[in-house]
Amino acid sequence: MIGLFFGLTTDLYSTLTLHWYWLLKHREFYDEQSGLFAAKRTIKKTAIQTGLELFSAASATGIFPNARGLGSVFTLHRVEPYQYSRFDPNAHLSVTPDFLEKAIIELKSKNYKAIPLDALPDHLNSPDPQQPVMVFTLDDGYRNNFEYALPVFKKHNIPFTVFACSGFVNRQHSIWWETITELAIKLKHLKFDLGNGPRSIEAANLAEKYNLFCWLAHDIMMLDQNDVISRVDEIARENGVHPTDITNRLIMDEAQLKQLSREPLAQIGAHTVSHPNLALLSDEQLKIELDQSRRDIEAMTSVRPTNIAFPYGKLENAGEREFNAAKDLGFDLAVSTEPDVLKPDVKDNLHSIQRISLNGYYQSNRYVGALASGLPFKFFTRMTNKFQDLLR
């Protein structure tokens, strides 16, 4: 039965993934006004949701109980009441307070114990195999972490870490993904060149607005972000969108961050100064981003951060060089957004700790249980091997 489940699921995922691969390999069938990004987004969401439903059902049977490892570190960004928007390319970053509470209750029902992130090394050195841990983290420093997440954590006595980007808090840098969202909402057409060549993108309807957002995001992630985000901010201001106003509205200021740091359940971690793609930085720039963010947060809160989260957090954004830099700078822990549960060997890799995203597209306590079971990540390794075989 177990073999049949994994066999069928692997075949389903391989089919969906091959469709996505075909889209990438045949880009010539799409121009910049096309639905390439929309098609990729739809296939990805369909594959993930299908998988979560399957793994939710599978985890309820109790198969592979050891797949859950020693527990999980969870990632969130925005925690806020639901507001409908036809165009919301950042919806995956936002969960409701109600969902957060249901996630906590779901994990408690499965005997998970909540611990602060800085207690993780001790837990890993003497784990309780009968009681996995849950660790909650929130990235970027959104105001709603204070307004909506904090009350939920206090209600359930759950410690948590907010990784604050110091350049957002002190208003020296803008949140580019929020800026280009408002830009795409406002415009019906945009000509731009951020360094990857000139583009002329229509944005008159919903699909075209998503297309514009994706091309802007694509170019921003591929280039030196300090230069390119300055250019994006300039384009935004020219079109009546003000990045500083967006940051003021969405991100905690220094006073609020300091107030949060005084909460007994809260810790403040570092999250770089400007939220760059670290892989594109020189060694010296990398060191400055990590170390200065720690100094900034310490100056703001009077507490020196001992942990750091890498921006974006995938292996293409933060790898061995970045892990070693965090270790060499004296951070106790560093976290990525590569998804997996806590495995026993994590204690030997404390500067590349993996986290599971609680994604706004999949706000169901069933899915939280499925992710925490570890089954999706056990399966993913098998699927990847099968996918590679199919492409040979």
Q: What is the 3-state secondary structure (H, E, C) of 111-124?
A: CCEECCHHHHHHHH
Residue 52: both structure tokens together:
């979560």
At 213-222, the pLDDT tens digits run 999 999 999 8
CA–CA distances in Å: residue 40 to residues 15, 91, 181, 201, 385: 14, 16, 19, 18, 21
Please answer whether residues 228 and 195 qualify as being in contact, where contact means their C-beta atoms are separated by less than 8 angstroms.
Answer: yes
From the centroid of its chain, how far is CA 117? 17
At 157-194, the pLDDT tens digits run 999 999 999 999 999 999 999 999 999 999 999 999 99
Q: What average pLDDT score do residues 342-367 get?
A: 94
Say if residue 248's pLDDT is above 60. Answer: yes
Q: In angstroms, rounded to a whole number, what is the distance separating the alpha carbons of residues 197 and 53? A: 42
Q: In angstroms, rounded to a whole number, what is the distance separating the alpha carbons of residues 311 and 313? A: 5
Sequence-distant contacts of 283-286: CB under 8 A, at least 24 apart: 283/321, 283/325, 286/321, 286/322, 286/325
Q: The whole model's pTM is what?
A: 0.89
At 59-68, the pLDDT tens digits run 888 888 889 9
Q: In angstroms, rounded to a whole number, what is the distance separating the alpha carbons of residues 152 and 379? A: 32
Residue 194: DSSP 8-state: S
- What are 163's strand-pairing partners? 139, 269
At 184-196, the pLDDT tens digits run 999 999 999 998 8
CATH class of 72-80+107-173+251-362: alpha beta
Answer with the residue of higher pLDDT: 94 or 28: 94
Percent of the chain clearing pLDDT 90 (strictly above): 74
Average pLDDT score, the chain: 88
At 277-327, the pLDDT tens digits run 999 999 999 999 999 999 999 999 999 999 999 999 899 999 999 999 999
- Please name which of 302, 311, 316 lies closest in space to residue 173, comparing C-alpha atoms: 311
Residue 130: both structure tokens together:
């009968």
Residue 244: both structure tokens together:
């500083």
Residues of the chain by 3-state class (helix, strand, coil), percent to 5: 55, 10, 30
Please report the pLDDT score of residue 38 as a whole number: 65
Domain boundaries, the chain: 1-64+373-392, 72-80+107-173+251-362, 176-246
